[in-house]
Copies of this chain bind each other. A is one copy, B any other.
Amino acid sequence: MARNEPQRLRATIQAVKELILDQGLQPGDPLPTEAQLVDLLDVSRGNLREAVRTLVALDILEVRHGTGTFVGQMSLRPLVEGLGFRGVVLPGEDFQSLRQIVEVRSGLDHALADAVVERMDDAVAVELKALCDAMAEHSERNEAFAAEDRAFHLALASMLGNELYSELVAAFWDVHTRLAPRLGVPTPRDIADTVAAHRAMLDAAVSRDLEGYRAAVGNHYAPLLRVLDSTSTTG
């Protein structure tokens, strides 16, 4: 390989990004064909393909085979993929990597407290109550309730009206949920507490009780952190 390949690759990546900006392309818009890009950017086909592969990994581009290359959604998918793998490669002592992820989730939920308590309204309260009821039913039948749990946290995050914040909440929920079974972390035995903790968050928000809401967020994450402690001492 040429010694200057990294610089050339970086330059090609930069050139593709500038083309997206110059042409005002938006997510979902098609890029010129590979042959056109080779001409336009004056790069080799191999170099272009490596640049495209890099940008696909970052969700900046999307290749639909048989159709072409498009501007990607620029989602947080690379974050989920990277942290998910890092958590397995570097689990750390006592599930440290998973504990860090749970603490980030807790931090993101805590930081929502003001907005949630201030903006809670009947429509959201009804939606959250239905999710809590569904969780309770699943819990009684010893079933998991991942979908309801995710929807609950996303409904709270959406009250901030900040799409990026919601994506972060979803991303760390996803990493947490995928990593826990891979690391062999058991489901908390006190899973019923988790159901009750969601309802306590809802009740505190409806009562506009800021300190009560913060306490409920703390109680929500307590069993998730406790199971990491108990696992580390018995394993």
Question: Looking at the complex, which one of B54, B85, B88, B162 makes contact with A100 (CB distance below 8 Å)?
Answer: B162
A207 at the interface (CB under 8 A from B): no
In chain A, residues 76-135, which have Cβ atoms closer than 8 Å to a Cβ of chain B?
A: 76, 78-79, 81-83, 85-86, 88-90, 97, 99-101, 103-104, 106-108, 110-112
Copies of this chain, count: 2
Question: Looking at the complex, which one of B3, B88, B104, B110 makes contact with A168 (CB distance below 8 Å)?
Answer: B104
Whether B74 pairs with A89 at a CB distance below 8 angstroms is yes
Whether A86 pairs with B66 at a CB distance below 8 angstroms is no
10 closest Cβ contacts across the A-B interface?
Answer: A107-B111, A57-B57, A74-B86, A100-B164, A53-B53, A54-B57, A111-B111, A78-B78, A110-B111, A79-B79
Which residues of A are interface residues toward B (Cβ below 8 A)?
1, 3, 5-6, 17, 20-21, 25-27, 49-50, 53-60, 63, 65-66, 71, 74, 76, 78-79, 81-83, 85-86, 88-90, 97, 99-101, 103-104, 106-108, 110-112, 160, 162-165, 168
